[in-house]
Amino acid sequence: MCLLSVFICGGNLLTITAVCSTRSLQTTPSMYVVSLAVADLIVGFNVFFESFWYNALTEHEILDCKFCCLLNLCMFYTSFFASMAGVVLIGVDRFFYICYPFKYEYLVTHRKIIITIIITWIVSVFFGTIPFYRNNFDAIQDCLHIDVLPVWYQMYLVKVMFALVLVFSVMLYTGIVKTARRQLGSIQATTVDSAHNSAKGKNWKVVRLMLLVCGGFFVCWCPYHVSVVINHVSFVSEDAMDVLFPLGILNSGVNFVIYALMNRDFRQAFRRRVCCGRCLFWEHDHDSSGGAAD
């Protein structure tokens, strides 16, 4: 869990610093990417915090700590709601960009984006902190999500919202992909301007990138949420839950890998951040050698 925490925190810190320090990455979708990375960063800290429950040196001290348990749950669910909101916002942004390109600059402005992100975080904190006030810890005395959280919170709030976000995202990206492919095919058939084709091809790559981010979120989290629903009506082994939950958590570190594999600007920014000192030394040495040769 500590290694998973380092992987998640490192990848998302790299994503945030890369966007903040690279002008080519400071675009509208990247604002949502940063918001999503912040949510994933909270998950990374949460995983590290939760590891104390499995450490022989700390488990006895923290096992009966109600505040620690509820703080752990609230951190996780706040970040989970913020992640769902981030996935939806990215999809809506790409929908407007692809389907209403001439109205995009009017519909999506810097001020509107900031207000939208702030509102989604306020809503996420509101829903994510409900376990502080509604929980079964006193009766259970064990910090397990399934036992501590009320059934209505797990089933009728978290699971229903997850299902709605899943259905909405599928509909949204289906429309985006259809429109983008139709536009790309029409442009390629009617123009010989290679620069125009290249620009549209780049836009299509951005759509594919965001589609992978959205798809990765649901692929990682669907098995766990389905298993929780099944467990309420039947039975799912604890071993299965112990595998499926970390799979969902792993999604918080996957986005960084997707950005690096699918986007050249992100890849170059990551490379600069990782080898900053070595690259600066190499460039200085290279410039000195070049000057001597001249």
CA distances from 74 to 69, 71, 124 (A): 9, 5, 10
The answer to pTM > 0.95 is no
Continuous segment of H or E residues that includes residue 249: helix 238-262
The CA R_g of the chain, rounded to the nearest whole Å, is: 22
What is the arithmetic mean of pLDDT over 70-79? 92
Indicate the average pLDDT of the chain: 82
pLDDT higher than threshold 70 for residue 132: yes
Burial class (CB in 10 A: 0-12, 13-18, 19+), 204: middle
pLDDT at 76: 93
% residues pLDDT > 90 (the chain): 27
* pLDDT > 90? residue 1: no
Please, which residues have CB within 8 angstroms of residue 109's CB and are 6 or more apart in sequence? none
Average pLDDT rounded to a whole number, residues 197-213? 71
Q: State which CATH number among 1.10.10.10, 2.40.110.10, 1.20.1070.10, 2.40.160.40 fits the domain covering 2-277.
A: 1.20.1070.10
152 secondary structure, DSSP code: I
Top-confidence residue, 209 or 34: 34
Domain edges within the chain: 2-277
Nearest residue to 255 via CA among 270, 243, 244: 270
239 exposed, middle or buried (CB, 10 Å; 0-12, 13-18, 19+)? Answer: exposed
- pLDDT tens, position by position, 253-288: 888 888 888 888 888 888 887 776 455 443 444 443
